[in-house]
Amino acid sequence: MQFIGELSALVTAFCWSAGSFAFTTAAKRLGSLQLNINRLILAAIFLFATIITLGLSLKLSENQVIYLSISGIIGFVFGDTFLFKAFQQIGARISMLLMSLSPIMSGLLAFFFLNEVINVWGIFGIIITIGGVALVVVERKETRDSVHKTNHAGIFYGLLGSLGQAGGLIFAKAAFNEGEISGFVATFIRIAASVIILFPIVLLTQKYKNPVKVFSNDLKALRSTIIGTILGPYLGVTFSLIAVAHAKVGIAATLMSTMPIIMLPIARYVYKEKLNWQAISGAVLAVAGVSILFMK
């Protein structure tokens, strides 16, 4: 199918945009660590059921398993843990806007590790994108009643989340370069590796609570976690891997970075956030910069 990679990237952007609001609600009620491990376990169950139902092959080469495992650990354990902390600090809209920097980080990682040269247009794209993100971040004028307040810690967490996604895409692409893999199988391997690493860490912190007891006492947290899981690691991540497999990483990442634009109407009409032309212009400018960087 023509443009399957590009269309999958756009589907990813829509899934992540909607899912991020559900995860913001869940993160505030559960905490970032509890939410991260719960949604990964749920996603693993959903994915395994899908693989069995569709009869998908789990046969992969050793290199593919290694690359996908590293991709999952970087993306889910490192990246998403910090992303959820950003959700708690500064909310979904600003957090996901910072995630639009992921394509730039992907380009920089490719430059250092794959010897891909960034030309003048690439540098121009970086400047434009960072300018757009900065425009939206400084646009926020909180009051005492603001639910989310922009702060340095939240912005730092959001940047680390973006870096995790970029690193995860690089290793995922390496796995697909080794041979054809189903998107659902690739996502399952990434998530399974992440759970193996993350679950013992969470237990050692003694901050992980029995999910059955937690969700029994908080049905809203359960509902938000399930919705976020379906839209995020189940559908969103799977489509992101299909996008990376069938399109250049830069183009796929660029289309996925349209989340800030997609999220603006959600923030405006669902969460009643006041958006001025500075916020809208900043989001458009950020995505335009990423487009210049990768779609010259």
pLDDT tens for each residue of 170-229: 899 889 888 889 999 999 999 999 999 988 888 887 778 888 888 988 899 999 999 999
pLDDT band at 159 (very low <50, low <70, confident <90, very high): very high
Nearest one of 259, 83, 102, 78 to 155, comparing CA atoms: 83
Please report the pLDDT score of residue 244 as a whole number. Answer: 84
Tokens describing residue 130: 């960072």
Which residue stretches of 206-276 are H helix? 211-217, 219-229, 237-246, 249-256, 259-269
Residues 166 and 109: their CA atoms lie apart, in Å, by 8
Tokens describing residue 172: 């995922």
The mean pLDDT value for 5-13 works out to 87
The mean pLDDT value for 43-56 works out to 94
Taking only Cα atoms into account, the Rg of the chain, rounded to an integer number of angstroms, comes to 18
Please report the pLDDT score of residue 101 as a whole number. Answer: 79
Residues 46 and 237: their CA atoms lie apart, in Å, by 13
Average pLDDT, the chain: 83
Please report the pLDDT score of residue 55 as a whole number. Answer: 93
pLDDT band at 1 (very low <50, low <70, confident <90, very high): low
Nearest one of 200, 201, 169, 202 to 187, comparing CA atoms: 169
**With a threshold of 0.85, does the pTM exceed it?**
no
> Does residue 141 register a pLDDT over 60?
no
Tracing tokens 């354990």 back to the chain, one arrives at 77
Calculate the alpha carbon distances from 51 to 177, 183, 189, 265 in Å.
22, 10, 11, 35
Tokens describing residue 92: 């979904």
Counting residues of the chain whose pLDDT is more than 70, the rounded percentage is 90
Residues 275 and 135: their CA atoms lie apart, in Å, by 13
Please report the pLDDT score of residue 296 as a whole number. Answer: 53
Q: Determine what percent of the chain falls in helix, strand and coil, rounding each to the nearest 5.
A: 80, 0, 20
Are the CB atoms for 189 and 68 separated by under 8 Å? yes
| H-helix or E-strand spanning residue 132 | helix 120-139
Residues 265 and 236: their CA atoms lie apart, in Å, by 20
| Helix (H) and strand (E) counts in the chain | 14, 0
pLDDT band at 129 (very low <50, low <70, confident <90, very high): confident
pLDDT digits (tens, 9 = 90+) for 237-291: 999 999 888 877 777 877 787 777 777 777 777 767 777 788 788 878 877 877 7
> Does residue 72 register a pLDDT over 90?
yes
Tokens describing residue 30: 């559960």
Tokens describing residue 279: 């916020």
CA-CA-CA-CA dihedral for 159, 157, 198, 214, to nearest 10: -140
Are the CB atoms for 228 and 39 separated by under 8 Å? yes
Residues 250 and 247: their CA atoms lie apart, in Å, by 8
